[in-house]
Amino acid sequence: MPEKREGDAEIRVGDRERSAALESLSEYFVRGFIDVAEFEERTGRAAVARTREDVAAVLGDLPELEPEEPAPTAERETQRELDSLLRRGHTVQAIDAVFGAVATVAFVGGVIVADWDWAWGGVTIGALVIPYVFRTFYSYNDEDEEIFNKLQKEEKKKRTERLRVATRRRRELGA
C-alpha cells in the first residue's frame, strides 16, 4: 500500500473538516461572494465531501477572506445609536411588562380581594406614571418606540426566514 503524504488530495476528511468548510461558505455568503443558489449547492457538496480534494473543489475558486475593516466613523456612530435604542427599548419593554403585571395584581387584589374602592384609581395612576418616569429617565420617546417596534418586527421576519431556510437545508442534508 502506498504511503500517503500530508498534502495528498485523496486523504479522507471528517466532520470537523466538513463543518469548517460549511462555516467558511456561510462567511462567503454573508459577505456577498456567493448567492443563495450557489450557497445551497456548495453546502450540499461540502456536507458530503469525502476527501480533501472534494473540500478544495467547494472552496477552491473563492478568494481568501480578508479581515473586515472597521466601519467608518459615521457608520460606527449609527451603530452606537442603534445599540442605544435597542438597549433602551428592551429595558423599557421589560419595565412596562413588570409594572403592567404588578398593576394587574394590585388592582385585582385591591378591588376584588381587599375591597379597596380606591384601588382602581391608585393602581391606574401608578401603572401610567411609573412607566412614563422610566421612559423619561431613559430618554425614550414615542418616535424611539415606533422605530424600536419596526426593528423588532423586521428582525422577527428575518429570523423566521433564516430558520425556515436552515430547517429546509437540514431536511435536505438528512440531519
* pLDDT of 78 strictly over 70: yes
Domain-located, residue 97: yes
How many domains in the chain? 2
Say if residue 81 is in the same domain as residue 49.
Answer: no
Say if residue 48 is in the same domain as residue 103.
Answer: no
Domain-located, residue 5: no
Going by the DSSP 8-state scheme, the letter that residue 51 receives in this structure is B
Domain-located, residue 1: no
**131-162 pLDDT, tens per residue?**
888 888 888 899 999 999 999 999 999 999 98
What range does the domain containing 161 cover?
Answer: 74-173
Distance separating alpha carbons of residues 70 and 77, to the nearest angstrom = 12
* pLDDT of 81 strictly over 70: yes
Distance separating alpha carbons of residues 53 and 60, to the nearest angstrom = 9
Domain-located, residue 64: no
* Contact assessment for residue 142 and residue 103, using Cβ atoms and an 8 Å cutoff: no
Say if residue 80 is in the same domain as residue 54.
Answer: no
CA distances from 152 to 30, 87, 99, 131, 171 (A): 21, 12, 21, 20, 28
Say if residue 41 is in the same domain as residue 91.
Answer: no
Q: Which three cell numbers stand for residue 39?
A: 450557497
* pLDDT of 104 strictly over 70: yes
Domain-located, residue 121: yes
Say if residue 101 is in the same domain as residue 134.
Answer: yes
